[in-house]
Amino acid sequence: MVGWSHRYAKINGLDVHYVEQGEGPLVVLLHGFPHTWFSWRHQIGPIADAGFRVVAPDMRGMGRTSGPADHREYVVDRIVGDLTGLLDHLGEEKAVFSGLDFGLFAAYDLAYHHPERVAALIGLENPFFTPSPVSPLTLAAKQARKHFNHIHYFVDSPGAADRDLAAAPREFLRKLFYALSSDYHYLDVWRKPPGTTYIDALPETPPLPWPWLTELELEFYVADYSRSGFTGGLNWYRAMDLSWEYRKSYGDRKTTVPYYFIGSEQDVDLEAWHGTDPLDKLQDHHGDLRAVRMLKNAGHMMQMEKAEETTATMLEFLS
């Protein structure tokens, strides 16, 4: 943690919080939900020590970055504006972007719209925009008729999910982080019937500490989401159809910047959300694919579960 600087700025109409360390070429680390900048805690210092300027922002509506209540403010153009605004604020023309989940999709959108501002992409777990003739919320609603589906739960009754999660942030975050790890098969959550709440659908967990998460580390997330609530994060899901429509004009094209991919063998996204054999399709979506690495014995929480291997692989790609 030594060397972290917490900074705040007004960017694209938001009050943005980000953590910065180091000097040199810029590397921007983008998180998904329900994460914050803190999910990159194991990577920030080593990458900075290797000669880079590292910035890990709280994304729109999450952590200590503000976010509108209207989900329509979480569509592609707003998020791309957040990232170009961040680069402008930092006084940088371009950066290497790495991300996971919504953070990585934001980096992909930036690479399509402003490739001149992306020095390279290092993708974690989510390999590309998966083409689909059906919108993501339509698909989620169809699945939710048969079993629990977290995306449909988030969007079906606006306000209800927000209240459920805000009433028990520690329980929700603990259960979800465990369910997404290699210690559990996340798709077992789908065995729960329609109408189940997310917290009830998630598994019970062993007591903390786990090999990759302590009680204190969990408390960083609990504190931030207890203060902000979950609406900002859920709005990213509620805007999924809008973003799907927005991407129709370019989502089937290839990115043109140098692209590197790190996945884990027990990741639920690679298992369930990107079609069959997604790694074989990377070249269909990225025109300058440089390297692919898969980590063993890790789930979706790879930055924490296999922190040293993830960091070492990122440093290898950055070099």
Q: What amino acid positions are annotated as catalytic residues?
A: 101, 300
Identify whether the C-beta of residue 212 lies closer than 8 Å to the C-beta of residue 301: yes
For residue 48, CA distances in Å to 21, 43, 83 come to 6, 8, 20
Whole-angstrom distance between the N-terminal and C-terminal Cα of the chain?
Answer: 23
Strands 14-21 and 5-11: antiparallel
Q: Say how many C-beta atoms besides its own lie within 10 A of residue 256's C-beta.
A: 13
List of E strands, the chain: 5-11, 14-21, 26-30, 53-57, 95-100, 118-124, 259-264, 289-295
Per-residue HEC secondary structure of 181-224 comes to: CCCCCHHHHHHCCCCCCHHHHCCCCCCCCECCECHHHHHHHHHH
* CB contact set of 237 (below 8 Å; sequence gap of 6+): 33, 151, 154, 155
Distance, in Å, from the CA atom of 199 to the CA atom of 172, rounded to the nearest integer, reads 6
For 141, what's the count of Cα atoms within 13 Å in the CB-facing half-sphere? 11
Distance, in Å, from the CA atom of 78 to the CA atom of 90, rounded to the nearest integer, reads 18
What length is written for the chain?
319
263 beta partners: 294
